[in-house]
Every structure is written in structure tokens, then in C-alpha cells.
Amino acid sequence: MKSEKRLDAVVIGGGIIGAMAARHLLAAGRRITIIERDHVAAGASAGNAGILAFPEIIPIAAPGVIWKAPRWLLDPLGPLAIRPAYAARLAPWFWRFLKASNQRHFHHAIGVHTALMRLTACEYEKLRDDETLASFIVKTGTLDLYDSATTIAAAMPEWEHKAEAGARFRRVGRAEIEELQPGLAPQFAHAFFSDDGLQIADPAGFTRAVAETALGEGAVLERAEVLALAPKDDGVVLLLSGGRTLAAQNAVVACGAWSRRLAASLGEAIPLDTERGYNTTLPKTAFPLRRQLYFNDHGFVVTPLADGIRVGGAVEFGGLNLPPDYRRADALLTRAKGFLPALETEGGTQWMGFRPSTPDCLPVIARSNAAPGVIYAFGHGHLGLTQSAATGRLVAELAENRPPSIDLQPLRADRF
């Protein structure tokens, strides 16, 4: 094996988390190499719904979730599914998830997400200084729809938490719903509307643009797969596919749902799994969509993108290797057609993506305990696009040994 000269900082993974980390490390004066096995925006960062979900501070691991899950699981193409071939492997993760679904952790996680969301909202405001990046951020407003007075009443405590955290929204009835988004099925008479809702108009294009700003300022992109990490002196050695090794002062693990293996190579068992999500991107002409629509009782969203309308969401546990089951994307589209009767469902492109998910619904943003030169930045689940800007900043603060902008104790790698 041939070893090369020691690099300064390597970011492993060219998703939105890696791209933001590279941007912030460059700003801190570091020399950056981004290592991506495929291409920039090859993973979840490409096909997500594009929502800057700053008010979404409520963890899915919530008291009572255990009673909701069986109802959802009964419908094989419903909003939550476990692929039978994966059920046994999921069990330890699921057990941890259930343990995290208690009042104490619920309130703790709300506090942590509130801090992360405040920081990330500030960081997104700063991104507006860059004309290209600013052009991706659009204000569409958010309509959170419920099927009935009963379901919106059940969701009230969540909205109270969001209000306490500073989110601005108001309850709207049928007449106003029809004004805000004409064409919704009459059953939707209960919603919350937020005029503040922001959207990234093209998540893949945005990820590429963030990476390009880093590359334009001197970062280098290398195509390779990192197979393992090992501590060396005060830095780290990376084993790449093909047997090559690289030495670096710092390595940031930003491999999304695939990060677990690299942490394991350092002897750190982090219970990262994936919540697979599905969507269909329809032509822009498919429906006169005015804003983000959340169908909260059905676990999916419809969002307006620069070049289409994206219909998707749902959670499927099936690991990283089982093939996609696109009947899920079909099922979401059929449901969307029921809710938006004029929706033209032809001509769409289907996609499946791997959300990187921890059982306590908090990311890992921390130095490795086994190799202090390694910084973990993964596990953002449903919120990685949103929290990427904060994560980039926090990674740079960790690398530079600066006091972190928020308390990082809850995000450490050994908390599980």
C-alpha cells in the first residue's frame, strides 16, 4: 500500500451536509478535499422535498407513537412500512427508538432541535449574500392540512411547542384553505397556515451549487469510496477502494445513511439506520400548486419545485441494499390525486432516497472518541437539508476547537 502526503481536511460525502461542511471549513482557512464515491448530490440530498423545515422541532420518537405505528403498518403501502426481510435487523434500532419515545427525551429533543433550527435559520440568511445560492431559496408558505377536527385537535400540543419555539402560523378553515390553495378536496376544512414557509426550489441543484462555491474557492473533489478510517498520530488515515491510503489532519464523515460503516471501522457502534422515502416529480403543469402542502394524517407532502411538483414522503425500513418498491410512490400519487382531484399524474419521475436516521431523532455532530481527527456529521433523518447550514458551521467549530454555537453534548457519538 502506497501512502501519500498528509492532507489538511477531507470531507467524505458530497451530499448537502458534506457540501456545507466543506464551505464552512474553507471559510475557516482550511484546505479541503471532498471525497465522493459517486457524484455530488448522489444521495438523499438530490431528491428530497426541498422544504426548509425550520418549525419542525418535534421528534418522531414521541410519547404515544407506539400506538400509532401498528395502524400505519396494517396498510402495506401506507405511510410506514417495514420490509419483512429487514425486520430482524431493524429490531435493535426500533427498540432504541421506542426507548427514546418518552416524555423526558421528547422534551429534550425539542430543545435540541429548537437550538439547531435557530442556528440553521441564521446560517441560511447568511447564504443569501451569495446571489446564486439565494436564487434557490423561495418563499411559498406552508399549508398543514388535517382530515378532521379530531386530528387537528390531537395535533394541537405539537403546534403549541412550535409556537413556543417562535414559529408563526394561524389556524384556517375551509374558505381560507380554498383561497390559499384552490383545488383541494372538500374534506380539507382544518389547517394551519404559515406565510413564512421556505423552499429550496431544486435540492439537487442547490447541493451542487454549495459544493461548487467550495470548489471555486480551492476545494478539490476526488472520486473514490472510503472503506475504513484509522487514527494516526493526531490525525487520521483513510483506506480507499483500490487499496490506496490517504493521511489527513481531519476527516469529516458526512456519508449520510452510509456513515455507520466508517464509524464502525473506528470501533464506534452508532445505531444509524435508514428511513427510506419515496416520491414522484411531476411536470410543473400537473397542477397549479401555490405552496407546500403537508397532508399530516397521511405522512406525505406536495411541494412546488423550480421544474416540477414533488409528491412524496412515507417511511420504509428496508436497509441500504433491498431494491426500491415503487408501488409506494404510486400509492402516494394515488392518494394525492384523491386530495387534489385535478392533479395530472402522468409523466412523473419516481425516486427513492435513504434518510440517515438515528433512533433518538437527533443527528451526530461530534468528534470521534476513537480518532479525535475525525468529525462525524450525519444522522439528520427527515431534516438534513434544513439543518445542513448549521451542521456546516458546527463542523468547522469542532475542527478549529472553537466554542460551539450550540451545546453539542446531546449530539455526541457515544450517547446511545
Ligand X SMILES: Cc1cc2nc3c(=O)[nH]c(=O)nc-3n(C[C@H](O)[C@H](O)[C@H](O)COP(=O)(O)OP(=O)(O)OC[C@H]3O[C@@H](n4cnc5c(N)ncnc54)[C@H](O)[C@@H]3O)c2cc1C
CB 237 within 8 A of CB 56: no
- DSSP reduced 3-state for 151: helix
Of residues 79 and 410, the one with the C-beta less far from ligand X: 79
To ligand X, the closest distance from the beta carbon of 133 in angstroms equals 16
At its nearest, how many Å lie between ligand X and the CB of residue 105?
20
- Please pick, from the candidates 10, 22, 26, 35, the single residue that binds ligand X as defined by CB under 6 A: 35
- Integer Cα distance of 56 and 7 in angstroms: 38
Q: Are strands 300-305 and 292-295 parallel, antiparallel or unpaired?
A: antiparallel
Residues in the interface with ligand X (CB under 6 A) total 42
From 115, 214, 383, 408, residue interacting with ligand X (rule: CB under 6 A):
383
Task: Tell me how many degrees the CA angle 201-203-204 measures, rounded to the nearest 5.
Answer: 125
254 Cβ partners below 8 Å, 6+ apart?
A: 11, 12, 13, 15, 17, 18, 21, 377, 378
Nearest approach, Cβ of 169 to ligand X (angstroms)?
17
Q: Does 42 contact ligand X by CB under 6 A?
A: yes
Residue 101 or residue 387: which is nearer to ligand X going by CB? 387
Check residue 205 for interaction with ligand X (CB under 6 A): no
User: Minimum CB separation from ligand X for residue 279, in Å?
Assistant: 5
- The region of 33-41, 61-69, 78-86, 105-113 touching ligand X under the rule CB under 6 A is 33-41
What does each C-alpha distance from 171 to 28, 147, 159, 197, 289 come to in angstroms? Answer: 43, 14, 10, 15, 20
DSSP at 324: P
Considering the complex, state which of residue 48 and residue 213 has its C-beta at the smaller distance from ligand X. 48
Q: Which is nearer to ligand X, 113 or 380 (CB)?
A: 380
Amino acid letter, residue 317: F
The reply to whether 204 sits near ligand X by the rule CB under 6 A is no
The correct pick among 24, 50, 325, 364 for binding ligand X (CB under 6 A) is 50
Instruction: Return the number of the residue (114 or 189) whose C-beta is nearest ligand X.
Output: 114
The interface with ligand X within residues 259-278 (CB under 6 A) comprises: 277
Buried b (16+ CB within 10 A) or exposed e, 248-268: bbbbbbbbbbbbbebbebbeb
DSSP assignment of 17-60 equals HHHHHHHHHHHTT--EEEEESS-TT-SHHHHS--EE-TT----S
Which residue in the set 11, 17, 210, 252 belongs to the binding site for ligand X (CB under 6 A)? 17
Q: Which amino acid is at 30?
A: R
Question: What is the per-residue binding string for ligand X in 311-340, x denoting contact by CB under 6 A?
Answer: -xx---------------------------
Contact region with ligand X (CB under 6 A), list: 170-178, 242-250, 384-392, 400-408: 384-392
Gap between the terminal Cα atoms of the chain: 35
Shortest distance, CB of residue 28 to ligand X, whole angstroms? 19
Q: Name the nearest CA neighbour of 71 among 59, 80, 62.
A: 80
Question: Of 22, 44, 198, 247, which one interacts with ligand X (CB under 6 A)?
Answer: 44
Does residue 363 interact with ligand X by CB under 6 A?
Answer: no
Comparing CB distances to ligand X, the nearer of 256 and 410 is: 256
- Rg of the chain, C-alpha, whole Å: 21
Q: State which of residues 18, 299, 308, 392 lies at the interface with ligand X (CB under 6 A).
A: 18
- Letters for 216-235 (x = contact with ligand X by CB under 6 A, - = none) are ---------xx---------
Select 47 or 189, whichever has its Cβ closest to ligand X: 47
Choices 42-50, 63-71, 75-83, 110-118; region in contact with ligand X by CB under 6 A: 42-50
CB 187 within 8 A of CB 335: no
Contact status: 299 vs ligand X (CB under 6 A) = no
Distances (CA, A) of 119 to 46, 122, 232, 366, 404: 23, 5, 33, 17, 11
Yes or no: say if 242 and 51 are a contact pair by the CB < 8 Å rule.
no
Task: Identify the three-state secondary structure at position 101.
Answer: coil
Instruction: Out of 235, 256, 348, 410, name the contact with ligand X by CB under 6 A.
Output: 256
Q: Are 8 and 249 in contact (CB under 8 A)?
A: yes
Under the criterion CB under 6 A, does residue 212 sit at the interface with ligand X? Answer: no
Instruction: Please report, as ranges, the residues that interact with ligand X according to CB under 6 A.
Output: 12-18, 35-38, 42-45, 48-51, 53, 225-226, 254-258, 277, 279, 312-313, 353, 355-356, 378, 380-386
